[in-house]
């Protein structure tokens, strides 16, 4: 460990590390320094006064992400290591080198970037140190660390990596490496358990030898185990658990666990001693199937698996056998407690396939063999329970050894291999409130491995010095050989005394403890606790541990009770009998006894021989917190593990020589500030380093080939000189900075004054300009206002003059207009009067003419009526033709239905005659071609029909136009007739003229209409014509191609009938127009009524005279003039009104 501050002169402003009871180390800045006492300011603004001898210097230029190799730290001491590990842990960089030692801090979470094939590939061909720290960079490792620090997980990662780089191609198979990797789940199931510090703690040591052939491929492997914790089978403290396999078997499916009569683990004594039955994040049922799959891979058959689980179940049933005092009169007799105990006894005997009665007696009785006789002794319930637990432990131990032998036999070893890589996963240093025989053996192993570790570190230091060709002397380091001698030295070591005590039947743990006190009372590594008569304390390299000797003797004995061995050897199950092979008959009890501690010591000796024959690389695993949660880094916990793991001892060994080693470039870059000209004057880095060291008058340093080697305190002296130079430089910088700031402030004030003056002058100029602008504006406003007043006065006078002129001119124009209107009115009156005289004469002539025309038109109407009657007859013939056409349509529909029926019959016939289908293929093709032709013809007919339909539409439109023209002619004729009738009424005054007009009108109507046509006949013809048109339209809609199947004959027939029907309709429309017939009938009725009325008036006129005739003639003249006003050619509307006025005057 690097020397403390008593060798360093701290200056004010330096950063240091100070010991703290909670955080182990805390950093601060020196505020005051007074000889051996300094005042330190922490980040929490707390000031303390400490001794300078109790602090370490802090590197002010510590990398923010830490360093991968802690030997590159400027200050190699406890707080420096702790700071580096904490920084790297916070960024999930859990691996850090200390030389060739890899420190692994358990993250308690999955870190994908540290595992996987891609990561393995990156480290596959990389030399040590080229990549970031990782277990993959370690070829072989031996482990020692805190329980729960991650040793087992690191072991599995190493084995995966070794299988990756040394495995065969997929085509060659990967059986050996797969079996090595799959052995981990099996060994964890039967050798791992939950402890206070770790949910998957290995309760045995393991050394895996992986053998390689000449091509570097895995050719074989072997697994060695050390010191299985057998006592855990029977004794479990809360909150720990028993071995995982017991819980897995209880959580198995019911059909499998029921076969072994298992169920809830809380019902078994060996499992319910602790309340911790289930683990968070662990499913025992899934682990059960995973373990079975792993057992298959390592070569354990299904029959052997069944036998293994029967043995495990039998152990659980053995634990539920309770004993009570027997009913016999024999002293100290015992028997199973109740039916439940007998049930478990019977079940255990069935699972082990041994005799139930013999098994019961082996618990309740003891057989003592003398020279010539055998003595049977009854046991009390406590002794029976001890024998039961002894059987359970020996069975489980033999089962675990069998599994290990089976795995090794399956994997196989390569006798031709000369290369191997060993992976050691062994327990870490343990110190609990209660430490028994297991902790004693575990800590012995750690002492032996720590000694090997110290020697290896010392050897590495020597190699480093030789490589750099520097002078060095022997480095002293703390050797723990005295602790190892205390434990295993013969004949007075603790193990030797323990074996001796086990050999004597009357020895107890009290006598054993007393023997220890007497033998080692003067040993500085051994202490006797004050308040205990059976405990002892050993001062290990990692700390003091107090052991309780209560069970030392029982746990050190490794032999089966003869009665148990005989019963299980006679088992009907070959697997169980194989676990307990028979002993020679002449073997005595002393020969049967085997010390566990001695066996373990021999195993450690063999292991160390293997380690000494190889090149070791170390991984120190560290647990950051006891909560087993990620992101929590406990300084005191980590520091204690670093001390117990020997990391601090390794650093102390380094500090005993030259702990600070800087490459030439790094050294010059850091300390060139001491003499800046050295880089220009000394191009050689080595010479530059020597000159810098001489500059500060350092002694006892070494300069190698590539590095500068400094003693523990020399780097601090260099940093102090560097800090002093930096302080002076800081003063100069501060002076220059202050000068610069003052100058900058003066310039700023000067510029501000100039700016203020500029702004003030500008403000005055702007104010003066504003005054001038306002004066000019006021003058302009006055000018514009006066101009506005003058303009308004001129506009008022101008408007008045214009108004007077307008009034005078209007008066003159109105007088002129009035004169013109009067002149025009006089001319109009004269014209009207003259026109009246001319019209009166013209009216008289017109009335006579109208009467003659009306007579002619009557004759023409009679002729037309005669023609309409004939057309009515033709309409009946058309109705008959329509009925025939409808009948033909019905016949065609029935014909189509019959044809459809025939086709369906033909289809059925075709189904029956399918066998003749091939013979008529030619005919079918011909028919198909004919059908195609018909389709083409049909399409052509459809086009033709569409053309016909379009022509029909055009004809219909033409007929509609002709009909409109006939209606217009009829309206004109009606108007003419109406005018003639009105004219005739006016002529009634002259009897002779009226009679002539009536006669002429009757003659005209007779000529125009047939004499035999009545009004009813005309109405009937009109209605019949409408019905015929509607039926024709309906028939056209029904006879479309879409509603009926089409063939050529049907199309031709429809076309011909359609043409015939069109001709009849055309002839009928030419002869009869419905509107004409209706209007004609109304005209005839009206003419008849008016004729009768005229006759009656004539008779009255003949019988009366004077005033009545004038009055009636006035009315008739009005009527006649109203109807005939539009019939006169060339007469205007005004003329008609004048005639009416004349007639009215006459009536009055």
Alpha-carbon distance values, 668 to 14, 686, 851 (Å): 21, 9, 149
Backbone angles phi, psi at 1009, to 5 degrees: -120, 150
Please state, in angstroms and rounded to a whole number, the distance separating the CA atoms of residues 209 and 224: 8
151 marked ligand binding residue: yes
- If you write DSSP's letter for every residue of 685-717 in order, what string do you get? HHHHHHHHHHHTT--S-EE-SSEEEE-TTHHHH
511 marked ligand binding residue: no
Instruction: Mention every residue, 6+ apart, whose C-beta is less than 8 A from residue 350.
Output: 356
Instruction: Mention every residue, 6+ apart, whose C-beta is less than 8 A from residue 1120.
Output: 847, 981, 982, 983, 984, 985, 986, 987
Give the SS3 label for residue 843. helix
Which one of 202, 383, 571, 1143 is the catalytic residue? 202
Active site residue 148: yes
Inter-residue contact 390 to 379 (CB < 8 Å): no
Which one of 177, 188, 287, 430 is the catalytic residue? 430
Report the b/e string of 554-576 with b at 16+ CB within 10 A.
ebbbbebbbbbbbbbbebebebb
1128 marked ligand binding residue: no
Beta sheet of 218-226, edge-to-edge order: 95-98, 101-105, 618-622, 141-143, 419-425, 205-212, 218-226
Inter-residue contact 219 to 417 (CB < 8 Å): yes
Angle at 1064 between CA 1063 and CA 1067, to 5 degrees: 85
Please state, in angstroms and rounded to a whole number, the distance separating the CA atoms of residues 277 and 261: 19
Locus of tokens 């809360």: 238
Active site residue 152: yes
Which one of 98, 106, 201, 408 is the catalytic residue? 201
Which one of 106, 147, 192, 333 is the catalytic residue? 147
Which one of 52, 183, 195, 198 is the catalytic residue? 198
Which one of 148, 191, 422, 1120 is the catalytic residue? 148
* Nearest partner of 34 among 46, 51, 48, 18, judged by Cα: 51
Which one of 144, 152, 291, 496 is the catalytic residue? 152
* Nearest partner of 85 among 129, 149, 20, judged by Cα: 149
Report the b/e string of 695-728 with b at 16+ CB within 10 A.
eeebeebbbbeebbbbbbbbbbbbbbbbbeeeee
Active site residue 1105: no
Give the end-to-end CA distance of the chain in Å, rounded to a whole number.
158
Instruction: Mention every residue, 6+ apart, whose C-beta is less than 8 A from residue 28.
Output: 15, 16, 18, 40, 41, 42, 43, 48
Q: Two tokens at 878?
A: 């058309």
| Tally of CA atoms within 13 A in the half-sphere of 676 that contains its CB | 4
Chain-centre distance for alpha carbon 388: 57
Which one of 220, 428, 645, 704 is the catalytic residue? 428
Radius of gyration of the chain measured on its C-alpha atoms: 68
Q: Greatest CA separation found in the chain?
A: 195
Active site residue 147: yes
Please state, in angstroms and rounded to a whole number, the distance separating the CA atoms of residues 524 and 483: 9
Please state, in angstroms and rounded to a whole number, the distance separating the CA atoms of residues 438 and 147: 14
Active site residue 202: yes
Active site residue 1085: no
146 marked ligand binding residue: yes
* Nearest partner of 470 among 704, 129, 265, judged by Cα: 704
Active site residue 855: no
Query: Per the annotation, where are the binding residues?
Result: 145-152
Active site residues: 147-148, 152, 198, 201-202, 428, 430
Query: Per the annotation, where are the binding residues for ATP?
Result: 145-152
């Amino acid at each position: 460990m690097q020397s403390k501050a008593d060798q360093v002169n701290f200056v004010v402003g330096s950063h240091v590390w100070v010991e703290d009871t909670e955080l182990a180390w805390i950093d601060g800045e020196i505020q005051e320094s007074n000889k051996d006492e300094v005042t330190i300011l922490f980040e929490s603004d707390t000031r303390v006064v400490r001794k300078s001898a109790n602090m370490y210097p802090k590197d002010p230029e510590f990398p923010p992400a830490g360093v991968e190799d802690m030997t590159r730290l400027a200050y190699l001491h406890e707080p420096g290591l702790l700071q580096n590990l904490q920084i790297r842990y916070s960024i999930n960089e859990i691996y850090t080198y200390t030389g060739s030692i890899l420190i692994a801090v358990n993250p308690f979470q999955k870190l994908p970037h540290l595992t996987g094939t891609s990561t393995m590939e990156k480290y596959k061909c990389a030399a040590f140190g080229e990549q970031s720290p990782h277990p993959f960079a370690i070829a072989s490792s031996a482990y020692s660390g805190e329980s729960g620090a991650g040793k087992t997980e690191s072991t599995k990662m190493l084995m995966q990596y070794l299988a990756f780089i040394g495995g065969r191609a997929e085509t060659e198979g990967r059986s050996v490496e797969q079996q090595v990797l799959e052995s981990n789940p099996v060994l964890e199931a039967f050798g791992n358990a939950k402890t206070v510090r770790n949910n998957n703690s290995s309760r045995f040591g393991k050394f895996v030898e992986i053998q390689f052939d000449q091509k570097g491929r895995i050719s074989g492997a072997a697994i060695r185990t050390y010191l299985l914790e057998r006592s855990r089978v029977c004794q479990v403290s809360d909150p720990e658990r028993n071995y995982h396999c017991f819980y897995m078997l209880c959580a198995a499916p019911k059909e499998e666990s029921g076969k072994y009569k298992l169920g809830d683990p809380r019902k078994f004594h060996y499992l319910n001693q602790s309340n911790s039955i289930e683990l968070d994040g662990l499913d025992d049922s899934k682990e059960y199937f995973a373990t079975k799959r792993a057992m298959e891979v390592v070569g354990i058959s299904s029959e052997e698996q069944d036998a293994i689980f029967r043995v495990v179940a039998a152990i659980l049933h053995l634990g539920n056998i309770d004993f009570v005092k027997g009913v016999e009169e024999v002293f100290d007799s015992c028997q199973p407690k109740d039916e439940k105990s007998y049930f478990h006894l019977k079940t255990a005997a069935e699972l082990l396939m041994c005799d139930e009665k013999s098994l019961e007696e082996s618990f309740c009785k003891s057989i003592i063999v003398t020279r010539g006789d055998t003595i049977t002794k009854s046991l009390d319930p406590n002794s029976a329970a001890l024998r039961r637990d002894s059987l359970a432990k020996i069975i489980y131990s033999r089962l675990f050894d069998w599994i290990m032998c089976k795995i090794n036999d399956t994997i196989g070893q390569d006798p031709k291999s000369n290369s191997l890589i060993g992976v050691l996963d062994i327990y870490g240093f343990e110190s609990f409130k209660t430490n028994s025989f297991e902790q004693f053996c575990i800590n012995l192993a750690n002492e032996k491995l720590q000694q090997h570790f110290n020697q290896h570190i010392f050897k590495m230091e020597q190699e480093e010095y030789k490589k750099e060709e520097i002078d060095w002397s022997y480095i002293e380091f703390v050797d723990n050989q005295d602790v190892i001698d205390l434990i295993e030295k013969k004949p007075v070591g603790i193990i030797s005394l323990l074996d001796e005590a086990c050999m004597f039947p009357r020895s107890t743990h009290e006598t054993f403890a007393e023997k220890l006190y007497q033998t080692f009372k003067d040993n500085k590594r051994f202490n006797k606790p004050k308040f205990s008569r059976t405990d002892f304390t050993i001062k290990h390299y990692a700390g003091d541990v107090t052991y309780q000797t209560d069970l030392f003797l029982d746990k050190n004995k490794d032999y089966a009770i003869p009665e148990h061995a005989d019963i299980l050897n006679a088992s009907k199950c070959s697997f169980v009998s194989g676990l307990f092979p028979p002993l020679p008959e002449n073997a005595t009890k002393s020969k049967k006894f085997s010390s566990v501690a001695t066996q373990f010591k021999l195993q450690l000796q063999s292991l160390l021989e293997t380690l000494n024959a190889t090149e070791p690389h170390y991984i120190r695993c560290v647990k950051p917190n006891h909560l087993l949660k990620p992101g929590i880094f406990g300084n005191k916990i980590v520091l204690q593990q670093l001390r117990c793991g020997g990391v601090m001892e390794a650093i102390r060994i380094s500090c005993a020589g030259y702990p600070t080693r800087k490459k030439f470039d790094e050294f010059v870059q850091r300390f060139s500030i001491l003499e800046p000209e050295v880089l220009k004057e000394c191009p050689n880095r080595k010479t530059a380093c020597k000159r810098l060291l001489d500059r500060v008058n350092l002694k006892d340093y070494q300069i190698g080939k590539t590095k500068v080697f400094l003693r523990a305190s020399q780097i601090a002296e260099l940093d102090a000189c560097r800090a002093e130079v930096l302080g002076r430089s800081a003063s100069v910088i501060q002076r220059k900075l202050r000068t610069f700031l003052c100058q900058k402030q003066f310039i700023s004030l000067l510029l501000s004054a100039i700016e203020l003056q500029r702004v003030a002058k500008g403000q005055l100029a702007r104010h003066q300009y504003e005054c001038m602008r306002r004066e000019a504006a006021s003058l302009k406003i006055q000018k514009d206002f006066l101009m506005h007043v003058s303009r308004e006065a001129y506009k008022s006078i101008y408007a008045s003059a214009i108004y007077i002129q307008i009034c005078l001119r209007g008066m003159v124009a109105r007088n002129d207009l009035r004169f013109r209107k009067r002149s025009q009115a006089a001319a109009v009156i004269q014209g009207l009067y003259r026109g009246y005289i001319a019209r009166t004469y013209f009216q008289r002539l017109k009335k006579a003419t109208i009467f003659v025309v009306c007579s002619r038109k009557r004759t023409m109407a009679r002729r037309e009526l005669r023609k309409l009657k004939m057309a009515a007859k033709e309409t009946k013939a058309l109705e008959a033709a329509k009925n025939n056409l409808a009948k033909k349509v019905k016949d065609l529909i029935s014909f189509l239905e019959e044809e459809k029926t025939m086709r369906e019959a033909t289809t059925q016939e075709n189904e029956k005659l399918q066998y003749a289908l091939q013979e008529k293929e030619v005919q079918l093709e011909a028919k198909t071609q004919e059908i195609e032709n018909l389709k083409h013809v049909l399409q052509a007919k459809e086009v033709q029909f569409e053309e016909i339909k379009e022509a029909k539409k055009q004809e219909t439109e033409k007929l509609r136009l002709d009909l409109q023209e006939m209606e217009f002619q009829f309206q004109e004729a009606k108007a003419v007739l109406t005018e003639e009738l009105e004219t005739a009424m006016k002529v009634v005054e002259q009897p002779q003229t009226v009679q002539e007009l009536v006669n002429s009108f009757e003659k005209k109507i007779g000529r125009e209409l047939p004499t035999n046509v009545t009004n009813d006949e005309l109405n009937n013809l009109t209605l019949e014509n409408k019905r015929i048109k509607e039926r024709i339209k309906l028939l056209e809609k029904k006879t479309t191609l879409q509603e009926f199947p089409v063939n050529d004959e049907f199309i031709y027939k429809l076309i011909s009938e359609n043409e015939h029907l069109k001709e009849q309709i055309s002839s009928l429309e030419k002869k009869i127009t419905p509107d004409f017939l209706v209007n004609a009938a109304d005209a005839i009725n009206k003419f008849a009524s008016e004729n009768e009325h005229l006759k009656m008036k004539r008779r009255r006129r003949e019988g009366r005279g004077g005033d009545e005739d004038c009055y009636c003639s006035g009315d008739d003249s009005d009527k006649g003039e109203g109807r005939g006003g539009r019939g006169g050619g060339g007469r205007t509307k005004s003329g008609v009104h004048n005639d009416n006025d004349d007639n009215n005057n006459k009536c009055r």
